[in-house]
Structure formats: structure tokens, C-alpha cells
Amino acid sequence: MKFLFKQPTFLLGVLFIGIMLLSSFIHALFFDSVIPKTPYVYSSENVLDRAAPFAPLDHTILGTDMAGNHLLFYIIQGAKYTILGTFVIAFMSFALALIIGTPMGFYQQKPWFKGVEQTISVLYFIPASLIAYNFLEPLLIEPFEGFPTTLAYRIFVEVLVIGLLLVPPAAILIANEVSELLKREYIQSSRVLGGRKWHLFRRHLLPHLRGRFIQLISIQSIQALLILTHLGVFEMFFGGTDRSFGLGAEPPTPFTYDWASIVGMYYDTIMTNLPWLLIAPMTFLVLFVMSIIGISYGIQKHLQSTDRTQTIPFQPQSKESFSKEKSFEFIEKRAE
């Protein structure tokens, strides 16, 4: 474990995610998720000096939007939803893929497996974001009379749908990895000697698949974050889209202010002179992805070092050690 925390990539990734989660929960528990707002700035003579939006470091660290909302506090408020939502989707999809893909790996030689693999491979050519959009649009877009469901229910269904969409490709990947390992001679020998499937998986397959599993979880996390960002651009925000109706209605806003939804909320400003409204959330998304990759790389390095320390190299005895050993004697001669 000490070696794991000596990995700089792992340490930096955990540090970034930990700081963002801690600040987000502190902001929610002790400050009631209040977003500071500075629509105007007055001079010392109480005369209107400037109006929002303000650029980064002009009045606040990350600047404000057109209404004067501080972008930094949007980032802090949405950190918990972004990080925890992404990880829940990734681990749920990985667990289901492991349960489905491992048995499929033992039966890959069966005729029906090719049909299942070809059917699932269709999902590689259909963007998961479009499938999620069609399933989630009735749930996440607020109707005129308001949402009939709670925020927790909408988040649960969205996490479930995105997680299920990520399961089939991951299950096929795990099945192929298991099938390739089962072709090794020592595993085939264990099967001939009567080793059951659970014994083969626990004793022979799992030690070789741990690194691949960590890598797969990081891939699932990045894919989940990508789908959430695509939905955000379509104004289908995580947990639901708050819409206004009537004359002078404000643009759609998210309930959770996760980073992917902030990108979608300010996506229309891409052609304006307010680049920080998109650069700020996209920067934190990139840092989050880099943290995931760094943690995955650090854990894989730790597993490799653990495997090396557990492997005892064969050390042949030298000629001197053989010469020091007692020479043999015939039994008949010893009896005399």
C-alpha cells in the first residue's frame, strides 16, 4: 500500500478528486449550496462602474456568467454529482459486465456465442449518447406542469440507463480476455485435472485480469462522462432540465450543475467573446479524466510490483554448495 501512495499519478489523481468532493460537500452542508451573484460593480462614489459578465480574475477567480453568477461555485456545487455519478455508472456497468462476460468466456467456443457477439457489436456503430437521448428525453425534459418525479428518482434512472448501455461492449471484452487465458497450457492442465470454473477464475484467471479490470473501470468512467457531456450539449442535464415558459423565459438550467451540464448550459456562448464559460468546466472535466487515468496507472503499477515480489525466482545451487553436501553411500557398504 505504501508503494501505491508513492506513485505520483495516483497521488495527484486522488488529491484532485478528494479536494473537489470535500469542497463540494462543505459547500452543500455549511453554505446551503448558495451561488454568489455579482450583477453589477459600483465605484467608490456609488456609481455604476461595470456590469456582468466578468472575466476570470477580474472580479472572481473563474469569472461570472451574464447574470453575474460566480462560475467557481457552480463548479464546486456540481463536483459531487459529476464525480460520484460517473463512478457509480462505471462500477455498476463493470460489475454487470463481469457477471455476464466471465461465463461467456468459458463458452466462447459454442456456436451461439458468435451470434451474440455479432449482435452486440452493432452497439459499436450506434452512439450510446443517441440511445440514451431517446430513452431519457421523457424523463429529463421538464414539462409545462413541472416534473412529476423527484430528483433522486431521475438521477437513479439516468445512472441505470447509461450503465446498462455500457455493459454489452464491456462484457464481450471480458469474455474475450477470459477465453484467451483459458487457452494457456497450465489452465488447460488444471481443467483436465478437474478444476471447476470458480476455481479456475479465482486461482488462475483473476490474478492475470486484475490489471485489465482496473483499466476497464477507467474506460467505463470516461465513456460515462462522455455520454453525460453529450446529453448536456443536447440540454438534457444530469438529474433533469429546469425550463421556464412564457415571455422572457430564461435559458434551460440544470438542477445539479454537474460539469457536463455546465458545458451544455453555456454551449451557446461558444461563438461569443465569453470563452471562459466553456473553458472552465471543460478544464475540470479534463482534469477529472486525467485523474482517472492517473489512478488507474498507479494501481496497475502497484499490482505489477506486488506480483514481482510474490514471485520467488529460482536460484540454482552453486558447485561449492554441492561439494559441501554429504556424498551418498551404498546401503550394503554401510551395513558392513
- Whether the CB-CB separation of 219 and 225 falls below 8 Å is answered with no
Kind of pairing between the strands at 48-51 and 253-254: unpaired
- Whether the CB-CB separation of 24 and 68 falls below 8 Å is answered with no
Q: What is the pTM of this model?
A: 0.85
Nearest to 41, CA basis, from 33, 54, 50, 32: 50
186, amino acid identity: Y
pLDDT at 166: 93
How many Cβ atoms are within 10 Å of 33's Cβ, its own excluded?
13
pLDDT at 312: 45
- Residue 215 vs residues 203, 262, 289, 300: alpha-carbon distances, Å: 20, 28, 13, 8
pLDDT at 332: 57
300, amino acid identity: Q
pLDDT at 322: 45
Ramachandran quadrant class, 245 (left: phi over 0; alpha: psi -120 to 50; beta: rest)? beta
Nearest to 218, CA basis, from 316, 297, 326: 297
In angstroms, the CA 119 to CA 179 distance is 19
pLDDT tens track for 110-120: 777 777 777 77
What CATH superfamily is the domain 79-272?
Answer: MetI-like (1.10.3720.10)
Residues of the chain short of pLDDT 50, as ranges, are 311-314, 322, 325
Nearest to 93, CA basis, from 174, 162, 178, 176: 162
How many Cβ atoms are within 10 Å of 221's Cβ, its own excluded?
27
- Residue 58 vs residues 37, 130, 223, 298: alpha-carbon distances, Å: 14, 39, 35, 38
Domain boundary assignment for the chain: 79-272
